[in-house]
Amino acid sequence: MTRRFALMIDPLASDETREDYADTFTQVDAAAPALSVGELSTQRGDGVFESIGVVGGHAQEVVPHLERLAHSARLCDLPVPNQAQWRQAVERAAEQCGSGESVIKLILSRGVEHGPTPTAWVTAAPAADFTAPRRDGIRVVTLDRGYDLGAAERAPWLLLGAKTLSYAVNMAALREAHRRGADDAIFLSSDGFVLEAPTASLILRFGDRFVTPAPNGGILHGTTQLSVYDHLAARGFEAGYDRIPASDLTGADAAWLVSSVRLAAPITAIDGVELPVDAALTADLNEYLLSPRD
Ligand code: PLP
């Protein structure tokens, strides 16, 4: 059984190496207040984060998550995290995780207004039970994301490829999906291309070819999608990146939303149009995603 756990990190410069980082960690009571009221992560959502799936105490794909945290930090002009220090913090958190599924979150915040800056912490907690969406699937609706495919390059200050703490829009999209009778959403660019879900990547199958929207800076490059692509390639499938017009969605032979904690959820309908579900392949994908991955 995973106990809730929280570890504050005193962030070191990215190039500072040590044998042991224990004296840069402070374990705090996960149920007690720990942040200053001046925290810019809570005041402005000004920070970046990662959610790592943990299965039976094994934290999945730690390096890709740490690399994406560093990428997000660079995009946000935050100090680049010290990979070895954060890796040790993740190990400490994983030690607290029991036999089931858990989630480890990494947070790097701009810090406290007028200092100190930045602040950083890691938490561990039990994961929700995602058996039903993995097996029975999810209904999704498409929602306009409000920018075109060129926006990330034209306006880098929108931080579109960074996993920032400003997820209010993503959560609002999920509420809108629920209002429309669906479980989840797929964002579309204003020029009519498929992007991603509010908290997951989209993979479509057309015959024996798998495709996901090209990560051109406007969406996150999903660690789970990358892992699924390795697995599909090992099974001899072709899996690639493309610009996908929204009109292609309902012609897919199968589709999934994939993410680190829910893993592969097959899509049963898009905007009310039923989609075929490949139950055997979905079970295979989730079995793979639940196996230890580095
Ligand atoms: N896209 C967005 C916007 C997300 O928030 C997430 C995960 O939280 C993903 C994609 C999937 O990323 P990953 O597979 O690394 O969890």
What is the Å distance from ligand 1's center to 222 Cα? 5
In whole numbers, what is the pLDDT of the chain averaged over residues? Answer: 97
Q: What is the pLDDT of residue 1?
A: 73
| Encoded amino acid at 241, one letter | Y
Residue nearest to atom 12 of ligand 1 (CA): 222
| Encoded amino acid at 133, one letter | P
Q: What is the pLDDT of residue 14?
A: 96
Which residues form ligand 1's pocket by a CB distance below 6 Å?
A: 51, 196, 198-201, 220, 222-225, 258-260
Q: How confident is the model at residue 3 (pLDDT cuts 50, 70, 90)?
A: confident
DSSP state of 56: T
DSSP state of 200: B
For ligand 1, mutation pick of 260, 288, 289 (most atoms within 8 Å of CB): 260
DSSP state of 36: -
250 has a pLDDT exceeding 80: yes
CB 201 within 8 A of CB 224: yes
- Please write the tens of the pLDDT for every residue from 157-186: 999 999 999 999 999 999 999 999 999 999
Q: What is the mean pLDDT of residues 131-158?
A: 97
- Please write the tens of the pLDDT for every residue from 18-34: 999 999 999 999 999 99
Q: What is the pLDDT of residue 244?
A: 98
Helices 223-234, 62-75: axis angle to 10 degrees equals 140
Burial (0-12, 13-18, 19+ Cβ within 10 Å), 109: buried
Q: What is the pLDDT of residue 217?
A: 81
Residue nearest to atom 10 of ligand 1 (CA): 200
Find the largest Cα–Cα distance for the chain: 56
Q: What is the mean pLDDT of residues 148-162?
A: 96
Q: Which atom of ligand 1 is nearest to the CA of 53?
A: 16
Closest CA to 217 of 110, 77, 78, 75: 75
Q: What is the pLDDT of residue 216?
A: 86
- Please write the tens of the pLDDT for every residue from 187-214: 999 999 999 999 999 999 999 999 999 9
Closest CA to 93 of 85, 82, 105: 105
Tokens encoding 188: 């579309």
Q: What is the mean pLDDT of residues 205-226?
A: 96
Q: Which atom of ligand 1 is nearest to the CA of 223?
A: 15
12 has a pLDDT exceeding 90: yes
Closest CA to 218 of 247, 184, 241: 241
Give ∠ CA 124-226-141 in degrees, rounded to 5: 80
Q: ω into residue 116 within 30 of 0, thus cis?
A: yes
What residues form DSSP beta bridges with 26?
8
Q: What domains sit in the chain, N to C, each tagged with a CATH number?
A: 5-126 (3.30.470.10), 131-289 (3.20.10.10)
Q: How many CB atoms lie within 10 A of CB 70?
A: 19
Global pTM reads 0.98
Residue nearest to atom 4 of ligand 1 (CA): 199
- Please write the tens of the pLDDT for every residue from 120-135: 999 999 999 999 999 9
Q: Which atom of ligand 1 is nearest to the CA of 65?
A: 15
Tokens encoding 86: 């954060």
Q: ω into residue 118 within 30 of 0, thus cis?
A: yes
What residues form DSSP beta bridges with 121?
8, 107
Taking the C-alpha atoms of residue 228 and residue 226, their distance in angstroms, rounded to an integer, is 6
DSSP state of 197: B
